[in-house]
Structure 1
Amino acid sequence: MMNRDAGARAVLVAAMASGQGKTSVTAALARKLLRQGLRVRVFKCGPDFIDPMLLERASGAPVHTLDLWMVGLDECRRRLHDAARETDAILIEGVMGLYDGAPSAADLSHEFGVPVLAVIDASAMAQTAGAVARGLRDYGPVQLAGVVANRVAGEGHAGMVAASLRDIPLIGWLPQQDSALPERQLGLVLPGEVDGLDALLDKLADELHFDEDAWKALPVLPQSPPEWQDVGRPLEHHTIAIARDAAFCFLYPANLDLLETMGARLRYFSPLRDEPVPADAAAVFLPGGYPELHGEALSKAAKWQSSIRAAHAHGVPILAECGGMMAVVDGLTDKEGRRWPMAGLMPGEVLMQERLGGLGSQAMPTPQGPLRGHTFHYSRLETPAPPQAHAVNTGTGTQGEAVFRIGSLTASYFHAYFPSNPPATSALFGADSS
């Protein structure tokens, strides 16, 4: 068992591109450290809902988002420093390639002094791995803690990779896997729906060859946090009903934490199980997810549909994000061309498509200032309803997702990160702004 030291060691797990095995390596390392008796906290760099679900299973703790734009510098620092006080190991899974995006995973590494652990898919290379590693290190440059080689053929192959790295340590390697972690793209399976996932995570941890001495040589992350932001209690005595099941599962833990910090009582219900909106709900949150995979069940959920219509008719504030919006239009047509009637709070039809319909970071205008977030969907909305506003794409300043307001309903493909603007968030859920 690895001995605990004072403070937490941290690495940012990154790669040259998507598909190199960042999530598999992060999950394997998290599970391995956890089984060695260490307290582990995992973060995800950039907007993402699916990878954090899997990494939560691997680490046994909620996985929060770190993003210098959406989450903000101060909030990222506070979460990291809080984790450093409470844990022994911090793993941050990067997004896309190390230098992709603005801000990138490399920017996060620079900002907080977290060294990079480079994942290299070695399945079709040997000595060239050294060139890839040195390129990742020197292009920025970044502080490179070492390399984990993925999809390695065996000890001999690992030795060739290690020799090619020269002055860069090979901290670990993972062999080719007979069975892979589930693909995490929109429309495919969730970690909770994978049979034997924990056994697969244990197998990854068992097969990860890991240099404990190299891990112990990493620097300890500072622990002094900045001051908390005082958000007040504008949602005191508010019960917020939140749809939560396989169709409505895209929930940032930080969003839920903020609602509770602002005084709200959270009550969860499942439209898929035909559970109605709780009668005492002062507001309703319908998050994103996969309603297109459950069209038949949702179309037959009479109690759920009548209850959300009643809440809307009574002026209860309803926030419907992406998949949540898809469930409250007139109808949803899935990829097989089957149309399913939905709740009908908003006129229009949602049609699934193969082509990406929206992707990227955006900010939604509100009377309290911009609310930051992002969009990612493979469907299109056809509606006669005029948008009341549009989100704005970061970087380009171009028009982003439409925002619709129909009575007490606010609906959009836009996913909000609530802590980026607590006053705007509380107003969306009906807080008194006076």
Structure 2
Amino acid sequence: MHRALSELDMADMADMADMGQGAVARCPAVLVTAPASGQGKTTITAALARLHARQGRRVRVFKCGPDFLDPFWHELASGAPVYQLDLWMTGEADCRARLHAAAQEADLIIVEGVMGLYDGEPSAADLALRFGLPVLAVIDAGAMAGTFGAVAYGLQHYRAGLRWAGVLANRVGSERHAGMLQASLQNPAHWLGALLRNPALTLPERHLGLVAATELGDAMARLDAAADALAATPLGQMDAVQLGAWAVDFPAPAARPVAPLLAGRTVAVARDAAFCFIYAANVQTLEQLGARVVFFSPLADAALPPCDAVWLPGGYPELHAAQLHANQPLRADLHAHVQAGKPLWAECGGMVALMDSIRQPDGRVQPLWGLLSGEVSMHTRLAALGPQQLVWQGHCLRGHTFHYSTCSSSAREVARTAAPGAAPRAKVREVGEALYRHGSIHASYFHAWFASAPQAVALLFGAAGADCVADAEKAACP
């Protein structure tokens, strides 16, 4: 199962390498948001992408905020890689570059918001205002009538300057109910339709979020069903002329060249059901650094591909612990890789898999790979959630933390992440996450956004100077 990057990935990376080229790119775009989480915006975003892709349009989808799982559905729906947009984690310049690149090749750009429209700092509303994105509100109207209009009005007018695309009622009880909701709007032109309550249109979930589309044999059928339902609404019946009202000008960004610090090196990336939390932009950054990226499956492969460095990303090792432990040939290969002094970067679930054992919520203890001393304990509630940043070798690497487990390790702690110094964010773990080092292993619960500090990433993957220990005095994160 050793695989090189797909032709689609490679073509997309070539486009991104030229992100500083060209003039203003104009393309219809929309931000799909809601009053809160759980309103159905991921389903609507994916359904809208699938509907227009079926009609032959080139659709590019983005996810606002740090999220690994929703993009699986959006990528399946659109047939194109999905990138994250976050004014803090990815930065405005990165957002601007990716939107401009998408606008150069797409007929429609769809951005899914995070939580509610005004939640977070910065919020989805901040992103919409910064780039002039029209805002489409999805509201779960199953338990309301006239208040629907008040909620829609509040979302539109709470902050001045938002471009308003309209509102879609979700999980509606009947056609009569839909009529009541439509009548509650102060501006009838903002009505984009209603989707009736239908359990078949709900995407499956578990801890950490949605089940990845790649794990479900009927994922495309689910998307087609949602797209069919959306096709019966005014939103789903918009043609190219109507989409033109959502047109946004995306100016060309300044070029941001990345030095090929990993030229000539091969990075092996774990990718399967146990290790699936991989930002497409992170793989892209490795390529821009000059690395050759290959993929392998710790669940299915008995050996590492030939490589100079390994990346074990996050995912669900707790769901596959017994199978991972049973793959002793791969464990032996990883051990030999580390004994040879070759870099191994493990984040969140990748770090968990390296530990001695994991204790499940029911008390069962399952051995793991034992390359990093310590035990992991799974919990039924979140242990940490929020944006984090790491000063590493004089560079500020941004990212986030999101996990249900805790670990106790005797490995050397060489650095610790910290929450950003911006306005307080809900549930941010203020003590930060440890960065452990054992031999050539660096491991943390921290999920890094590689593009925020390519030089730091190059050091983690073995570029010259990687043997230095982090010195918090060398740099400070803004």
TM norm. shorter chain > 0.5: yes
TM-score (norm 1): 0.95
Q: 1:121 aligns with which of 135, 140, 164?
A: 140
- Take 1:28 and 1:63, find their aligned partners in 2: how far apart are those partners? 15
- Take 2:41 and 2:286, find their aligned partners in 1: how far apart are those partners? 31
Matches within 5 A, 1:203-242: 203-208=225-230, 209-211=233-235, 212=238, 215-216=242-243, 218-242=245-269
Matched, 1:181 2:203: yes
Matched, 1:413 2:437: no
Asked if the contact 1:12/1:116 (under 8 Å) is kept, the reply is yes
Asked if the contact 1:41/1:90 (under 8 Å) is kept, the reply is yes
Matched, 1:161 2:187: no
**SS in structure 2 of the partner of residue 123 of structure 1:** coil
Asked if the contact 1:391/1:402 (under 8 Å) is kept, the reply is yes
Higher relative contact order (CA 8 A, sep 6+): 2
- Take 1:366 and 1:126, find their aligned partners in 2: how far apart are those partners? 53
Q: 1:288 aligns with which of 273, 295, 314?
A: 314
Asked if the contact 1:50/1:184 (under 8 Å) is kept, the reply is no
Partner AA of 1:219 in structure 2? W
Q: How far 1:93 moved relative to its partner?
A: 0.5
Partner AA of 2:34 in structure 1? A
- Take 1:87 and 1:348, find their aligned partners in 2: how far apart are those partners? 48
Q: How far 1:338 moved relative to its partner?
A: 2.4
Residue in structure 1 matched with residue 4 of structure 2 by the alignment? none
Partner AA of 2:275 in structure 1? F
Residue in structure 2 matched with residue 34 of structure 1 by the alignment? 53
Q: 2:366 aligns with which of 340, 347, 352?
A: 340
Summarize deviations over 1:181-236 as a string: whole Å, max 9, x none. 11264277322222311111111111111341694352312143212311121111
Matched, 1:364 2:385: no
**SS in structure 2 of the partner of residue 229 of structure 1:** coil
Q: 1:268 aligns with which of 295, 303, 321?
A: 295
Residue in structure 2 matched with residue 198 of structure 1 by the alignment? 220
Q: How far 1:291 moved relative to its partner?
A: 0.2
Q: How far 1:7 moved relative to its partner?
A: 4.0
Partner AA of 1:216 in structure 2? L
Asked if the contact 1:182/1:194 (under 8 Å) is kept, the reply is no
- Take 1:254 and 1:21, find their aligned partners in 2: how far apart are those partners? 26
Asked if the contact 1:309/1:343 (under 8 Å) is kept, the reply is no
Q: How far 1:433 moved relative to its partner?
A: 4.4
Q: 1:151 to 1:312 in 2, by over 3 A?
A: same
**SS in structure 2 of the partner of residue 423 of structure 1:** helix
Asked if the contact 2:61/2:75 (under 8 Å) is kept, the reply is yes
**SS in structure 1 of the partner of residue 246 of structure 2:** coil
Partner AA of 1:10 in structure 2? A
Summarize deviations over 1:137-182 as a string: whole Å, max 9, x none. 1112332210011112333322222221121511232221132211
Of the structure 1 ranges 102-111 and 331-340, higher mean CA displacement relative to structure 2 is found in: 331-340
- Take 2:72 and 2:206, find their aligned partners in 1: how far apart are those partners? 10
Q: 1:138 to 1:187 in 2, by over 3 A?
A: closer
- Take 1:398 and 1:187, find their aligned partners in 2: how far apart are those partners? 23
Partner AA of 1:287 in structure 2? P
- Take 1:374 and 1:229, find their aligned partners in 2: how far apart are those partners? 23
Summarize deviations over 1:257-296 as a string: whole Å, max 9, x none. 1111111011111111143222x31111000000000011
**SS in structure 2 of the partner of residue 71 of structure 1:** helix
Partner AA of 1:426 in structure 2? A
- Equivalent residue pairs, number: 428
Q: 1:61 to 1:267 in 2, by over 3 A?
A: same
Q: 1:426 aligns with which of 458, 469, 477?
A: 458
Residue in structure 2 matched with residue 11 of structure 1 by the alignment? 30
Of the structure 1 ranges 121-130 and 329-338, higher mean CA displacement relative to structure 2 is found in: 329-338
Give aligned-pair identity as a percent: 52
Q: 1:388 aligns with which of 414, 417, 428?
A: 414
Asked if the contact 1:85/1:223 (under 8 Å) is kept, the reply is no
Summarize deviations over 1:383-432 as a string: whole Å, max 9, x none. 22342111011235943111111111100000000000011011110012
Unpaired runs of at least 5, structure 1 = 1-5
Q: How far 1:382 moved relative to its partner?
A: 1.2
Asked if the contact 1:350/1:380 (under 8 Å) is kept, the reply is yes
**SS in structure 1 of the partner of residue 442 of structure 2:** strand
Q: 2:114 aligns with which of 85, 90, 95?
A: 95
Q: How far 1:60 moved relative to its partner?
A: 1.2
Q: How far 1:55 moved relative to its partner?
A: 1.2
- Take 1:352 and 1:339, find their aligned partners in 2: how far apart are those partners? 10
Q: 1:255 aligns with which of 255, 275, 282?
A: 282
Asked if the contact 1:368/1:423 (under 8 Å) is kept, the reply is no
Matched, 1:143 2:170: no
**SS in structure 1 of the partner of residue 380 of structure 2:** coil
Asked if the contact 1:322/1:377 (under 8 Å) is kept, the reply is yes
Matched, 1:77 2:104: no
Residue in structure 1 matched with residue 476 of structure 2 by the alignment? none
**SS in structure 1 of the partner of residue 80 of structure 2:** coil
